[in-house]
Structure 1
Amino acid sequence: MKVLVTGGLGYIGSHTCVQLIAAGHQPIVIDNLSNSKLEVLNRVEAISGVRPVFHQGDVRDEAFLAGVFAEYDVQAVIHFAGLKAVGESVAKPLEYYDNNVNGSLVLARAMRSAGVKNIIFSSSATVYGDPQEVPITEDAPTGATTNPYGRSKYMVEECFRDLFAAEDDWSITLLRYFNPVGAHSSGTMGEDPQGIPNNLMPFIAQVAVGRREKLAVFGDDYPTPDGTGVRDYVHVVDLADGHLAALNALTDKAGLHIYNLGTGKGSSVLDMVHAFSAACGHDVAYEVQPRRPGDIAECWASTAKAEQDLGWKAQRDVSQMTVDTWRWQSQNPQGYQE
């Protein structure tokens, strides 16, 4: 199957391309390279033996998308392209709404014009806001999100919900990720944020490898076992396999399909610091700082629905996540070098 992968050179997109190729699919990658590098194509090729088709462009460019759909017989779209940092979204809300909401609407219009009505959307557990209870099921309330990033994902979900209500021949799958971490087991592909990392694991890794002095732990007074925020960390390869499972189960199956992708277990910030220290063989320096605006105390998934409907369950634990991240970071101390 030819699958258009938007943001396919990004962290999750690139790992998904590897898994798609391994399963016999052909990813058609588009990326504007705003937070990714062309070198990723070489890494995907080295791992998979196949160099994906790549076009540089933006999902907000409808003419560009029309050209891609005209050139290839695309049967499904996996939509990763977008901005993704909670803290940054608080400082740059307009950029987040433009990239994430407007970009998704332009993509949907281009798909409809091309007659492609199968999409898997990269959503987020942030749509649940500050959950009333954990683990979080797919029917938990959404929309009370605490930051513009989460609101942008919620808005896109609502747009797709309304699209399906109007045109019920679409297959629209909303995959709500919890906290993607880890790297490919080869050590050649991993998370490589430009500038200062906004997410926990790459920051820990950069401290461990000597690129940064210490980790800032935002808040140690949450109502959690050690006072630090608790999240559901899921290995990026497990996430990629979740997209493949959704593609196999739901392509051409009309409906609005919603699934959590997580492990169903919560780990605190300090749990991750200690696990990473074990993986790299030395302490990771950290300093407690005040809470960040928009952060919540705890959040982890119920994964029963994905297991039942898609036959998907995360296979890799926190130890594997940290070992793989350290392998990537230690072999690539400066990230992807072109």
Structure 2
Amino acid sequence: MKRQADLRDRAALDAVFAAHEIDSVIHFAAKKAVGESTRIPLEYYDINVTGTVNLLLAMTRHGARRVVFSSSCSIYGETPKVPLDEDDPAAPANPYARTKYLCEQLLADACARYPELSVIALRYFNPIGAHPSGEIGEDPTGVPNNVLPYMAQVAVGRLTELPVFGDDYPTPDGTGVRDYIHVSDVADGHRVALDHLDDEQGLRVFNLGTGTGASVLELLAEFTKAVGTPIPYRIQARRAGDVPTLIADPGRVERAWGWRTTRDLTAMCADAWRFQRLHPNGYSSGPPTV
């Protein structure tokens, strides 16, 4: 039976745990946009941090001891080091990143208090793409906060042009460089993480990334190839909270689990465009009539 509840509602959470025998949790529920977090920081702390506290309290009350946590590469902040491994110091540069780092600290403290807990925090680098079928994809409410869904909506005519925030970063073309990872690889990483929760107790942290960076303009060029027509864009001022470069060192997860990503930037863009082309107005619309 499906249940829907807000993690900030402790009574609703207790009802969910009481109605099911839950031994493992994958904790995705959070707000996730860097720019938005600088505009509404208190909402980010309320949803991301309070929600995590309530989930941990419910788990301890109901005997659930295993959790995979959706963390973020934004924890690393602005650093000259490339690529970044899990032992590099945290330097979160915006409210979103600080909420994710605080949640990791909460998880560590919970593990110290409850040594039977087994927690894996997956620090995603930048997930993009869609299911290869084109039937499951990203359908943001309102104006997208992330670059690829914004590109996709420009490509189908819902938005007029892509804003590129900053062309004066210390990167090859001046635009921000990120390690993009296909959402299907992210999903597969969670499947494997569930299989390894019992390897040891306590908190473990793993990067999920490809180890390869692409700039905003490089991503735009690859997505333009998938679409087949130019996508208008305009350079704008830097956005608060952004950093120049974030690229993963994915070696720890490969050494521990023998796992690595399998999909490249071309596949990410092609799959994202397939979803948007089949659903030009998101899930509210069916296939296009043309």
State how 1:213-292 maps to structure 2 within 5 Å.
213-251=160-198, 253-292=200-239
Whether contact under 8 Å (2:154, 2:231) holds in the other structure is: yes
State how 1:118-129 maps to structure 2 within 5 Å.
118-129=66-77
1:312 to 252, 259, 267: 259
Are positions 1:84 and 2:32 aligned together? yes
Report what 2:82 is aligned to: 134
1:261 Cα offset (Å): 0.4
Moved more, 178-187 or 58-67: 58-67
Which deviations, in whole Å up to 9, do the C-alpha atoms of 1:51-80 show, x marking residues without a partner?
xx4212111111111111111111100000
Whether contact under 8 Å (2:23, 2:63) holds in the other structure is: no
Report what 1:331 is aligned to: 278
The one-letter amino acid of 2:215's match is S
The one-letter amino acid of 2:250's match is T
1:99 Cα offset (Å): 0.2
SS at match of 2:283: coil
**Which gives a bigger RCO, structure 1 or 2 (Cα 8 Å, sep 6+)?**
2
State how 1:150-165 maps to structure 2 within 5 Å.
150-165=97-112
Instruction: Return the alpha-carbon distance in structure 2 between the equivalents of residues 151 and 170 of structure 1.
Output: 23
Runs of 4+ in 1 over 4 A off after TM superposition: none
1:147 to 94, 111, 128: 94
2:20 to 63, 72, 80: 72
State how 1:181-192 maps to structure 2 within 5 Å.
181-192=128-139
SS at match of 1:119: strand
Instruction: Return the alpha-carbon distance in structure 2 between the equivalents of residues 228 and 177 of structure 1.
Output: 20
Aligned residue-pair number: 285
Instruction: Return the alpha-carbon distance in structure 2 between the equivalents of residues 219 and 256 of structure 1.
Output: 36
Instruction: Return the alpha-carbon distance in structure 2 between the equivalents of residues 89 and 162 of structure 1.
Output: 25
Report what 2:288 is aligned to: none
The one-letter amino acid of 1:303's match is P
Unaligned runs of 5+ in 2: 286-290
Unaligned runs of 5+ in 1: 1-52
The one-letter amino acid of 1:241's match is D
Instruction: Return the alpha-carbon distance in structure 2 between the equivalents of residues 330 and 319 of structure 1.
Output: 16
1:252 Cα offset (Å): 6.7
Report what 1:63 is aligned to: 11
Report what 1:297 is aligned to: 244
1:255 Cα offset (Å): 2.2
SS at match of 2:70: strand
Q: Taking structure 2 as the reference length, what is the TM-score of the superposition? A: 0.96
Whether contact under 8 Å (1:146, 1:295) holds in the other structure is: yes
Are positions 1:194 and 2:141 aligned together? yes
Q: Taking structure 1 as the reference length, what is the TM-score of the superposition? A: 0.83
Instruction: Return the alpha-carbon distance in structure 2 between the equivalents of residues 127 and 107 of structure 1.
Output: 21
Whether contact under 8 Å (1:76, 1:251) holds in the other structure is: no
Report what 1:37 is aligned to: none
Moved more, 115-124 or 56-65: 56-65
Instruction: Return the alpha-carbon distance in structure 1 between the equivalents of residues 275 and 254 of structure 2.
Output: 29
CA RMSD of aligned residues (A): 1.0
Whether contact under 8 Å (1:122, 1:175) holds in the other structure is: yes
Instruction: Return the alpha-carbon distance in structure 1 between the equivalents of residues 200 and 231 of structure 2.
Output: 47
